[in-house]
Amino acid sequence: MAIVQDFIIIGGGAAGLAAAQYAARANLSALVIEEMAHGGQALLIDKLENYPGILTEVDGYSWSEAMHRQAESFGAAFMASSVLSIVKQGEVFLVETSDGPLQARTVLLATGAKHRHAGIPGEETFAGRGVSYCATCDGPFFKGKPIVVVGGGDAACDEAMFLAKLASRVTMVHRKDRFRAQKALAARVLGNPAISVRWTSTIDEISGDKAVRQVKLRNLESGAVETLETAAVFVFVGSEPQTAALPAGVDCDESGYVVTNQRMETSLPGLFAAGDIRTTPFRQVITAVADGAVAAHCAAQYIDELQGKAYH
């Protein structure tokens, strides 16, 4: 454990990959620790069409792989492992992983957020048997069949558009009377003849036999209940920040997201946070990438200050 990394990046999604590239280009020893596949939530994107400079649509996997290779080309290192804890000891962080301890002068937490479950009766029972949280992963299993999508944000609308290319019909169930998604995306959903929307409605129950067969819908205004036949229920009702490794005492907001300043610094000096894990008004690939770049730049400045090399 003698080697002390300049910058350990926990999480290999958009924020982590961007941070790795910028840190390596700044001549920092940068190590990315990712327990799953590099790319994070970007891997679920069917078509990345609104990223500046990418005129031809690209899938999330291809984009993430290019980011990974680019970071490696600048000298960033990658490690497949799980981070169990982060503890600051003096001016050095001890990062405990499933493969042993590591040390770093600065740490970036870019572990993102995971899909939240809706708490619908039957949701857990049929998880993996018709209930899903990833359209690109599981949508192809339901080609030509009716599908229900729960939610009204960017993710729900984006995934409904993808599923509409596969399903016989897509029914969106949203508890409000309008989408909270970006206007252009919402307009595209409303203009798609393969998608219908049940406004001010919720699902009381998901039922079936060996797989999902139907849902019980309730209109929140009239109280009317109806049964809708469906082969699958895709749930997109927000996300939960992945903060299991966050040191105790680091400031978070009421929803559990990490609070940072504009330099991506947390309340613990030397610990940075970027991407979907932090408090931000907008969670997109482009904002995660920007967060990662800012975090790497400011981590380099922080290290210079520790070593008395800061430029004034």
Domain annotation covers residue 294: yes
**Together in a domain, 221 and 146:** yes
What are the DSSP calls for 52-97, one per residue? Answer: TT--S-B-HHHHHHHHHHHHHHTT-EEEE--EEEEEEETTEEEEEE
Res 312: pLDDT: 55
What are the DSSP calls for 123-171, one per residue? Answer: TTTTBTTTEES-HHHHGGGGTTSEEEEE--SHHHHHHHHHHHTTSSEEE
pLDDT digits 0-9 by tens, 106-125: 999 999 988 889 999 999 99
Domain annotation covers residue 136: yes
Is the pLDDT score of 137 beyond 90? no
Res 309: pLDDT: 75
- Distance in angstroms (rounded) separating the CA atoms of residues 277 and 291: 11
Tell me, letter by letter, the H, E, C secondary structure of 34-60.
ECCCCEHHHHHCCCECCCCCCCCCECH
Domain annotation covers residue 45: yes
Run of H or E including 24: helix 14-25
**Together in a domain, 187 and 247:** no
Domain annotation covers residue 311: no
pTM (two decimals): 0.77
* Residue whose pair of structure tokens reads 């040390």 in the numeric block: 103
**Together in a domain, 10 and 34:** yes
pLDDT digits 0-9 by tens, 17-28: 999 999 999 999
| Tokens describing residue 181 | 């998604």
> What are the beta bridge partners of residue 11?
none
Active site residue 134: yes
> What are the beta bridge partners of residue 108?
9, 272
Least confident among 76-85, 133-142, 228-237, 256-265:
133-142
Catalytic residue, candidates 99, 137, 251, 253:
137
Under a CB-based contact definition with an 8 Å cutoff, are residues 24 and 74 in contact? yes
Domain annotation covers residue 125: yes
Domain span at 93: 4-114+239-306
**Together in a domain, 75 and 39:** yes
Catalytic residue, candidates 6, 46, 99, 138:
138
- Enumerate residues 6+ apart whose C-beta is below 8 A from 207: 122, 213, 214, 215, 216
Is the pLDDT score of 214 beyond 60? yes
Res 2: pLDDT: 65
pLDDT digits 0-9 by tens, 227-257: 999 999 999 998 889 999 999 999 999 989 9
pLDDT digits 0-9 by tens, 52-73: 998 888 888 899 999 999 999 9
**Together in a domain, 171 and 94:** no
Catalytic residue, candidates 46, 59, 99, 134:
134
Res 54: pLDDT: 87
**Together in a domain, 193 and 210:** yes
**Together in a domain, 53 and 193:** no
Which one-letter DSSP state was computed for residue 20?
A: H
**Together in a domain, 220 and 291:** no
**Cα 162 off chain centre by:** 18
Under a CB-based contact definition with an 8 Å cutoff, are residues 216 and 207 in contact? yes
Is the pLDDT score of 220 beyond 90? yes
**Cα 169 off chain centre by:** 27
Number of Cβ within a 10 Å radius of residue 99: 11
Active site residue 298: no
Active site residue 252: no
Among 98, 117, 127, residue whose Cα is nearest residue 36: 98
Which one-letter DSSP state was computed for residue 224?
A: -
Q: For helices 14-25 and 60-73, what crossing angle results, to 10°?
A: 20
| Tokens describing residue 164 | 């509409």
Res 190: pLDDT: 97
Is the pLDDT score of 14 beyond 90? yes
Q: How many CA atoms lie within 13 Å of 171's alpha carbon, on the beta-carbon side? A: 21
Domain annotation covers residue 312: no
Q: Which of 235, 250, 267 is the last residue of a domain?
A: 235
Count of the separate structural domains present in the chain: 2
CATH assignment of the domain containing 190 = 3.50.50.60
Domain annotation covers residue 273: yes
Q: Which of 235, 259, 274 is the last residue of a domain?
A: 235
**Together in a domain, 187 and 90:** no
**Together in a domain, 153 and 228:** yes
Res 310: pLDDT: 64
Domain annotation covers residue 14: yes
**Together in a domain, 225 and 260:** no
Alpha-carbon dihedral 243, 67, 18, 5, rounded to 10 degrees: 80
Number of Cβ within a 10 Å radius of residue 86: 20
Alpha-carbon dihedral 282, 287, 291, 297, rounded to 10 degrees: -150
Mean per-residue pLDDT of the chain? 93
Q: Which of 235, 256, 275 is the last residue of a domain?
A: 235
**Together in a domain, 170 and 139:** yes
